[in-house]
Amino acid sequence: MGLRLDISGRGDEAKLVWSDANSILAPYFINRGALVKAAAKTRAILTELSTHYRTTQDPDYIPFLSPLRAAGEELWNVLFYVTEGAESSARQIQELLLEVQDRDSLTIFSDAGVHIPWNFVYRGDATQNLTPDGTIADFSDFWSAFFQISTRFTKTNLLTKKTRPRSTFKVLYALHKDNYTAACRHLPPVQKAYLDRLLSYEIGSATNWPACREKWRRIEENDSILYLFGHSDGKMIKLDDSEDISSQLDAPRFLTTFKKRSDTRSATICFVNGCHTAAGAFGESFLALTSGPGFQGFIGTEAEVSNVFATTYGAEFMHRMCEEGKSVHQAMNELRTELFPLSMLYSCFAHGEFKVEPPASGWSKVDAERRAA
């Protein structure tokens, strides 16, 4: 069962319209301020969890489960507390969501004025004393457990489900050189080999934004993945720790640096790694920025992860996309289990069916066998 939610802000209210392939429910309204506060509580806990993993020698997510469930339950309650409109729609969809078991698609179209961590909405009773078992089953009543969630901006372009041809596909990496180099020293040989190959693909990497813009102009009308690995303060992405303007990219400069023709038929997704670009106002900006002509959204994190984990996740994600021919959703689904628990911090704001033909080199088969061994 695939569901769609259209959500938009309207003053103090947020409008929600639920639908599937056959039906559209009448709209209802909720308190937008309460939704924003509940989202902020959830993200604050995610930030505490991610900080714990970045600063503790033997980290454990279990102490964060109970507060995360409570915050997620608050999100659930706000989403179905109707202030105006069709209360019957809210009750109907709420009952349906309580019954969903299998991971099907949920596409959320947002106007970028309402931006919450949808993966962590909780449909269970947070007051129940559940015994964690240290596996992904501990997250079984969060929305991420029974939905593959993609959040999209309402002005995105259509994208067919066909696999993008390899002949026109390019990859561009914008890297914080020092952080990336340091992280790579801690990678296992398998992931290091992935990155060595991936960085050799056209069009390669850049370590400052002017160089990145020059390379982008050579591939801007190609199908592509734009991989950004930098540091973010919530307002801009930096490719080094200096105050040099060439290393800094804010939202307006993103628009001028990366753009395509309005009539383009090419498709690009962005993988924004190493910083919490899915969170808050910066996430709202990227939701809109990566929905312009030829762009199909981005993948980012709800809270900051370590450079080593970000590089590990990035290597595995890009390998699956660029060398195994997996779709965005397929790659994220596999890593959700393989790199648990920090994989849970990654959210999809891209077209989940975007995928590219694998190369004819046989790398994907060899590496799949190596991972299974």
Are residues 229 and 114 both part of a single domain? no
Check if the beta carbon of residue 312 is closer than 8 Å to that of residue 187: yes
The count of domains in the chain is: 2
Check if the beta carbon of residue 174 is closer than 8 Å to that of residue 229: yes
> Is 362 a member of any domain?
yes
Gap between the Cα atoms of 364 and 322, Å rounded: 9
The residue from 106, 126, 153 where one domain ends is 153
> Is 161 a member of any domain?
no
pLDDT in tens, 83-113: 999 999 999 999 999 999 888 899 999 887 7
Are residues 228 and 317 both part of a single domain? yes
User: How much is the pLDDT for 363?
Assistant: 53
> Is 102 a member of any domain?
yes
User: How much is the pLDDT for 233?
Assistant: 67
Are residues 44 and 66 both part of a single domain? yes
Percent of the chain at pLDDT above 70? Answer: 92
Are residues 202 and 141 both part of a single domain? no
User: How much is the pLDDT for 230?
Assistant: 87
171 forms beta bridges with 203, 225
> Is 158 a member of any domain?
no
**DSSP per-residue codes, 13-79:** EEEEEEE-SS-BPPPEEEEHHHHHHHHHHHHHHHHHHHHHHHH-SS--SHHHHHHHHHHHHHHHHHH
Are residues 144 and 246 both part of a single domain? no
Whether omega for the bond prior to residue 341 falls within 30 degrees of 0, making it cis, is: yes
Check if the beta carbon of residue 229 is closer than 8 Å to that of residue 176: yes
| pTM given for the model | 0.92
Are residues 244 and 333 both part of a single domain? yes
Buried b (16+ CB within 10 A) or exposed e, 92-124: ebeeebeebeeeeebbbbbbbebbbbbbbbbbe
What the block records as the tokens of 247 is 């290393």
Are residues 83 and 213 both part of a single domain? no
> Is 194 a member of any domain?
yes
**Which amino acid belongs to residue 103?**
R
**CATH number of the domain residue 298 falls in:** 3.40.50
Name the helix (H) or strand (E) containing 169. Answer: strand 169-175
**Regions of the chain where pLDDT drops below 70:** 1, 156, 233-234, 274-285, 361-373
The residue from 107, 128, 153 where one domain ends is 153
Are residues 30 and 138 both part of a single domain? yes
pLDDT in tens, 99-153: 998 888 999 998 877 788 999 999 999 999 889 999 999 999 999 999 999 998 8
Q: How many CA atoms lie within 13 A of 89 on its CB side?
A: 21
Are residues 149 and 170 both part of a single domain? no
Closest by CA to 19, choosing from 82, 142, 108, is 108
User: How much is the pLDDT for 369?
Assistant: 47
> Is 160 a member of any domain?
no
Query: Which residues form the domain of 37?
Result: 3-153
Are residues 199 and 147 both part of a single domain? no
> Is 328 a member of any domain?
yes
Are residues 104 and 202 both part of a single domain? no
> Is 268 a member of any domain?
yes
User: How much is the pLDDT for 370?
Assistant: 47
User: How much is the pLDDT for 288?
Assistant: 75
User: How much is the pLDDT for 57?
Assistant: 93
Name the helix (H) or strand (E) containing 133. Answer: none
Are residues 88 and 194 both part of a single domain? no
Q: Hey, is 117 helix, strand or coil?
A: coil
Gap between the Cα atoms of 373 and 366, Å rounded: 11
The residue from 128, 153, 178 where one domain ends is 153
Check if the beta carbon of residue 328 is closer than 8 Å to that of residue 354: yes
